[in-house]
């Protein structure tokens, strides 16, 4: 049986908030890394049926919405701050769902737990309306009743299934529409301590501090095996061995990215030079630099740090979740 949450489950010093903002994978991922947030749980709120299943909810059969249940420390963050952040995770004008997901089960809502939360939520909604950024605000403010925890495979989906999550987030239009509505949003990265535990000291210095590893003394500069290279932090696909060439520099070099959308290029004026830095779009990892002295037809040399990459050979693509790239090597 799924856990049925209510306001009494939090400790005396903690408070709870419940928001519906479309796909709960994305809303959970956003709130997980907010300062002061203790836990975020994906689930179903607002319906009357007991112990709803994912299949029934997404078909609109139970009256529930996909939602997240947030436990937070009011000494470190406020309900008002959570609301300000919530608005920037949704399209508040959409009454029929969110982004590619349609239906009431995906529509946005604020479920208030106390009269004070109701008052704060209403004031927050009025502030958004007064900004004149939107013609109408469709997000509902509703009294909290019950919240049922979603199936275990939905919890922390953005961490357990990074590739599928990033693919969904971009494919759903959420990322592009939020950027259009709210402008550039700050990248919420994995907590620094978690990254340090996952990476070697060199990998950390390269990806997080923009260092450069020694030439000819790194894992992939002379790797000739067939496969793809992914971000060591996020796992997003970056380069293919088919586009790798020997640049003579002592670092792995590629004439183009495997997935252009996973690459961000920025002006880098450090080291008394003007260069173009290359970072991963999802993991925000520093990867290396791109130069205009590569081979034809692109004329580009993506000079990468091995420490920022993980190599996945062709034989392991399927089991590692990158099966769609196998066709490149036939």
pLDDT digits (tens, 9 = 90+) for 57-108: 999 999 999 999 999 999 888 999 999 999 999 999 999 999 999 999 999 9
* pLDDT for residue 10: 44
Structure confidence at residue 200 (pLDDT):
94
Q: What is the mean pLDDT of the chain?
A: 89
For 140-173, the pLDDT digits (tens) are 999 999 999 999 989 988 877 777 787 788 788 8
pLDDT band at 216 (very low <50, low <70, confident <90, very high): very high
- Catalytic residue, chosen from 206, 232, 303, 304, is 303
Q: Say if residue 138's pLDDT is above 90.
A: yes
Peptide bond into 278 cis (omega under 30): no
CA pair distance 126, 120, nearest whole angstrom: 10
Lowest-pLDDT choice from 83-87, 180-184, 249-253, 302-306: 180-184
Least Cα distance to 282 among 250, 235, 220 occurs for 235
Q: What residue ranges in 73-123 does DSSP mark as E strands? A: 97-98, 101-102, 109-112
pLDDT tens digit sequence for 226-265: 999 999 988 889 999 999 999 999 999 999 999 988 888 8
Q: What percent of the chain has pLDDT over 70?
A: 93
Q: Dump pLDDT digits (tens) for 21-38.
A: 999 999 999 898 788 899
Residue 248: the pLDDT is 96
Share of the chain above pLDDT 90, in %: 65
Which pLDDT score, from 0 to 100, does residue 324 have?
Answer: 87
- Distances from the Cα of 30 to the Cαs of 16, 26, 172, in angstroms? 16, 6, 16
For the cut 90, the answer to whether the pLDDT of residue 42 exceeds it is yes
Ranges 42-51, 196-205, 280-289, 293-302: which has the least confidence: 280-289
Predicted local confidence at residue 7, as pLDDT: 42
Confidence of residue 1 (pLDDT cuts 50, 70, 90): very low
Which domains are assigned to the chain?
A: 4-182 (3.30.1060.10), 198-329 (2.170.150.20)
β-pairing, 109-112 vs 140-143, is parallel
- Active-site residue among 17, 20, 23, 304? 23
Residue 18 is predicted with a pLDDT of 98
The structure tokens 């520093």 sit at 286
Q: What is the pLDDT of residues 273-288, one digit of tens each?
A: 789 999 987 778 899 9
**How far, in Å, CA of 178 to CA of 173, rounded?**
8
The model's confidence at residue 189, banded by pLDDT at 50, 70 and 90, is low
pLDDT for position 167: 76
pLDDT at 197: 81
Q: In the annotation, is 210 catalytic? A: no
CA distances from 143 to 14, 81, 147 (A): 19, 19, 12
Gap between the Cα atoms of 239 and 329, Å rounded: 13
Tokens of 198: 């996952």
Q: How confident is the model at residue 192 (pLDDT cuts 50, 70, 90)?
A: low
């Amino acid at each position: 049986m799924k856990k049925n949450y209510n306001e009494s489950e939090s400790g005396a010093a903690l408070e709870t908030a419940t928001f519906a903002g479309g796909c709960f994978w994305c809303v959970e991922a956003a709130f997980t890394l907010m300062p002061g947030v203790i836990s975020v749980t994906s689930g179903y709120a607002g319906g009357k049926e007991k112990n709803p299943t994912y299949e029934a909810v997404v078909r609109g059969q139970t009256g529930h919405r996909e939602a997240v249940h947030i436990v937070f420390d009011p000494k470190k963050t406020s309900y008002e701050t959570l609301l300000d952040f919530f608005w920037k995770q949704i399209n508040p004008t959409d009454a029929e769902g969110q982004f590619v997901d349609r239906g009431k089960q995906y529509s946005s809502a604020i479920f208030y737990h106390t009269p004070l939360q109701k008052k704060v939520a209403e004031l927050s909604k009025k502030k958004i309306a007064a900004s004149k950024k939107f013609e109408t605000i469709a997000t509902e403010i509703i009294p909290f009743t019950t919240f049922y925890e979603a199936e275990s495979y939905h919890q922390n989906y953005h961490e357990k299934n990074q590739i599928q999550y990033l693919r969904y987030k971009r494919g759903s239009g959420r990322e592009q529409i939020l950027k259009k509505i709210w402008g550039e949003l700050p990248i919420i990265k994995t907590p620094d301590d978690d990254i340090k535990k996952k990476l070697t000291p060199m990998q950390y210095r390269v990806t997080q501090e923009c260092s450069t590893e020694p030439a000819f003394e790194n894992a992939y500069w002379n790797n000739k095996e067939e496969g793809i290279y992914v971000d060591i932090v996020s796992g997003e696909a970056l380069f293919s061995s088919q586009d790798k060439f020997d640049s003579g520099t002592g670092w792995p070099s590629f004439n183009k990215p495997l997935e252009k959308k996973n690459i961000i290029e920025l002006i880098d004026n450090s080291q008394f030079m003007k260069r173009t830095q290359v970072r991963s779009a999802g993991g925000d990892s520093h990867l290396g630099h791109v130069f205009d002295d590569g081979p034809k037809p692109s004329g580009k040399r993506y000079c990468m740090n091995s420490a920022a990459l993980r190599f996945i050979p062709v034989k392991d693509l399927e089991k590692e979740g990158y099966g769609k790239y196998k066709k490149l090597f036939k």
